[in-house]
Amino acid sequence: MTNELCLDILGTSFTITVDEDEDYLRKIFAQYSAAVENTQAISGIREPLNVAVLTGFLLCDEINKIKQQLENESVEVRERTMTLIAKLDQALGAADEKSF
């Protein structure tokens, strides 16, 4: 399903055509608009191109921090799983020894 979304941000208007749900596109645009407003608020920058570039940089930073957090959590989950498996193996081995 192809959808068009009209974007108007930082004084620029354009239409994009994508294969995504319209509600999803509106949600993403709302998130970007909020990020742009946040960038302007924290930086005091008003030049549209500079705001757009800085917003993109800040969003990439946020994405990478989230990825790193997920990777760290994944390692922790893997370690806990291996510990549990080792304990289960040990408990099952002890139970097998008792049955002989």
Q: Does pTM top 0.95 for this prediction? A: no
Nearest Cα residue to 37 out of 5, 77, 9: 9
Task: Please write the tens of the pLDDT for every residue from 24-80.
Answer: 888 999 999 999 999 999 999 999 999 999 999 999 999 999 999 999 999 999 999
5 close to 22: Cβ distance less than 8 angstroms: yes
Task: Please write the tens of the pLDDT for every residue from 46-58.
Answer: 999 999 999 999 9
